[in-house]
């Protein structure tokens, strides 16, 4: 009786200390992410951000038809596109209706999701391991540069990571308690993750391991698990079937199923040293973990697992490497594709600090080394993050400048061809509709087709016309169309209308 009372009296202060600690981490994460949050959509991953923001703006301007997301590069068509589940863009569009269109709203929504990701990671690690490890995991996730940067970009990655960590957390609770509410919450978040990014189906591996821990060899005979899988797969299958019908009818896609050509199925790439050098060393070791963190991660991977539950992190990490293999093209091209790696990786780093860090930094050699490692990670993270932000510098930005010139020369109802290696950013920033193209596509038949379909201007990034072929295409355009603007970086051409060539 006395022991129970003493335990109860101690629980209050312990819980209060836990709450204060994670609150401080969340405040730190918030202020790291809020800096320059109102930056325009230029710089790193502007392509992805511009497309996401265009979906939101088109919902706002053209009607909230959730099942029919629209891009800016649909030319003279309705612009309906095959895409991943556009929930993030739709939520931003709802915020536009309440507060008016602003990039700030999309970025703030991303930050909110990122803070929920950190808190979800804290709850999960607290459940699987201990509070000390949970706090260290959240600290590292909060301060590593790509984790900061992509937590405030205009894209659904923060929502994806939140869905993954909460889906795993509630699944773990469901395995422990078999309560219906945890079943419901888990499949909703796991399904949402797979809707946002269908390769997120890899999360099934750590979930299967947790189920195996409970049922062992009888795991495949559990009706509740089969029902769970059905609840996840049905909405995913419905959306991607619907999205495919949009592509078949309107011909526009983000390349969701471009096997072997774009994001996934690039087996030749997977078998090269060039691929793994970029993913493991250039991206993960250097960009994400600033090398110092990578060394600590390797140490964490070598630590002995103390519980069976802890081994779920190993299966989580293995599942992400399977994802690296399957979605090789996307991971090779885009740094943010490796963001899911940081959820389990942060925990492995945290385990090192949880086991060996003490307050007596000066006398304990391990603690001294870990303190030095933490300082190095923080300083290198700050330096790398500042480099990321410099790319969003609006001063003398050629992209913002050409977008302003397009608004000056081109009316709202006129269609534009943008030749910038297929990048839609200029269309979004100029708030115009048209086509995006690569220089090698822009031959005479292409121009003729787009003129017939209503194209009146061509905007070209001169760097896109590289090589002899590109220079020949550029020379042909300059000789046959009217150049309205040339700042040695971009050009704006007025396209002759065929039946008015003699009068223009």
- Six token digits for residue 380: 């290198």
**Which positions ≥6 away from 114 have C-beta within 8 Å?**
29, 33, 147, 151, 152, 158, 161, 162
Tokens 């971009």 locate to: 490
Distance between start and end Cα atoms, the chain: 96
DSSP code of 253? B
Q: Are 69 and 250 in contact (CB under 8 A)?
A: no
- Rounded (10°) CA dihedral 149, 383, 141, 322: 80
Q: Is the dihedral of CA 494, 498, 500, 504 positive or negative?
A: positive
* Distance of alpha carbon 93 from alpha carbon 446, whole angstroms: 34
- Angstrom distance (rounded) from CA 237 to CA 259: 18
pLDDT recorded at residue 17: 65
Nearest to 492 by CA among 425, 417, 423, 421: 417
pLDDT of residue 259: 78
The answer to whether residues 458 and 417 touch, using CB atoms and an 8 Å cutoff, is yes
Q: Is residue 50 a contact partner of residue 44, using CB atoms and an 8 Å limit?
A: no
Q: How far apart are CA 416 and CA 407, in angstroms?
A: 11
Dump pLDDT digits (tens) for 56-99: 999 999 999 999 999 999 999 999 999 999 999 999 999 999 99
- Output the pLDDT for position 189: 98
pTM of the model: 0.93
Q: What is residue 409's predicted lDDT score, i.e. its pLDDT?
A: 95
Per-residue pLDDT of the chain (504 residues; tens, 9 = 90+): 445 554 444 455 556 667 889 999 999 999 999 999 999 999 999 999 999 999 999 999 999 999 999 999 999 999 999 999 999 999 999 999 999 999 999 999 999 999 999 999 999 999 999 999 999 999 999 999 999 999 999 999 999 999 999 999 999 999 999 999 999 999 999 999 999 999 999 999 999 999 999 999 999 999 999 999 999 999 999 999 999 999 999 999 998 887 777 788 889 999 999 999 999 999 999 999 999 999 999 999 999 998 889 999 999 999 999 999 999 999 999 999 999 999 999 999 999 999 999 887 877 888 899 999 999 999 999 999 999 999 999 988 999 999 999 999 999 999 999 999 999 999 999 999 999 999 999 998 999 999 999 999 999 999 999 988 889 999 999 999 999 999 999 999 999 875 544 444
- In sequence order, what are the residues at sequence separation of 6 or more whose Cβ sits closer than 8 angstroms to the Cβ of residue 281? none
Element (H, E) at 150: none
Q: Which residues pair with 142 in a beta bridge?
A: none
């Amino acid at each position: 009786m006395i022991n129970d009372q003493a335990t109860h009296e101690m629980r209050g202060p312990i819980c209060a200390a836990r709450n204060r600690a994670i609150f401080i981490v969340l405040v730190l994460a918030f202020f790291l992410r809020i800096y320059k949050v109102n930056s325009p959509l230029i710089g790193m991953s502007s392509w992805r951000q511009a497309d996401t923001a265009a979906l939101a703006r088109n919902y706002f301007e053209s009607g909230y038809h959730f099942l029919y997301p629209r891009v800016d590069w649909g030319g003279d068509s309705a612009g309906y596109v095959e895409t991943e589940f556009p929930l993030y863009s739709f939520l931003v569009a709802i915020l536009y209706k309440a507060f008016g269109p602003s990039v700030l709203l999309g970025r703030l929504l991303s930050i909110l999701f990122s803070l929920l990701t950190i808190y979800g990671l804290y709850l999960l690690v607290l459940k699987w391991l201990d509070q000390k490890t949970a706090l260290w995991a959240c600290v590292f996730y909060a301060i590593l540069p790509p984790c900061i940067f992509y937590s405030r970009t205009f894209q659904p990655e923060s929502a994806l990571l939140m869905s993954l960590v909460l889906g795993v957390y509630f699944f773990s609770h469901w395995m422990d308690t078999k309560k219906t509410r945890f079943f419901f919450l888990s499949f909703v978040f796991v399904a949402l993750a797979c809707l946002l990014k269908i390769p997120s189906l890899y999360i099934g591996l750590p979930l299967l391991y947790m189920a195996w821990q409970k049922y062992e060899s009888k795991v495949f005979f559990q009706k509740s698990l089969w029902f769970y899988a059905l609840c996840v797969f049905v909405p995913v299958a419905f959306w991607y079937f619907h999205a495919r019908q949009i592509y078949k009818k309107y011909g526009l896609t983000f390349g969701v199923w471009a096997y072997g050509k774009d994001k996934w199925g690039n087996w030749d790439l997977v078998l090269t040293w060039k691929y793994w050098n970029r993913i493991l060393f250039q991206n993960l070791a250097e960009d994400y973990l600033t090398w110092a963190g990578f060394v600590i991660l390797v140490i964490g991977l070598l630590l002995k697992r103390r519980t069976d539950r802890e081994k779920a992190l190993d299966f989580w990490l293995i599942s992400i490497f399977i994802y690296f293999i399957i979605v090789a093209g996307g991971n090779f091209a885009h740094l943010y594709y490796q963001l899911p790696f940081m959820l389990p990786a942060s925990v492995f780093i945290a385990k090192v600090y949880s086991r060996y860090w003490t307050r007596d930094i000066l006398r304990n050699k391990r603690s001294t080394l870990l303190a030095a490692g933490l300082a190095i990670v923080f300083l290198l993270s700050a330096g790398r993050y500042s480099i990321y932000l410099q790319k969003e510098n609006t001063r003398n930005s050629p992209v913002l400048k050409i977008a302003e010139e397009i608004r000056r020369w081109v009316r709202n109802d006129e269609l534009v061809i943008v030749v910038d290696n297929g990048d839609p950013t200029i269309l979004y920033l100029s708030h115009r509709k048209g086509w995006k193209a690569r220089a090698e596509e822009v031959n005479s038949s292409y121009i003729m087709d787009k003129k017939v379909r209503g194209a009146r201007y061509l905007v070209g990034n001169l760097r896109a016309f590289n090589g002899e072929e590109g220079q020949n295409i550029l020379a042909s355009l300059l000789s046959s169309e009217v150049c309205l603007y040339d700042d040695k970086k971009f050009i704006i051409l007025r396209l002759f209308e065929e039946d008015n060539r003699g009068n223009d």
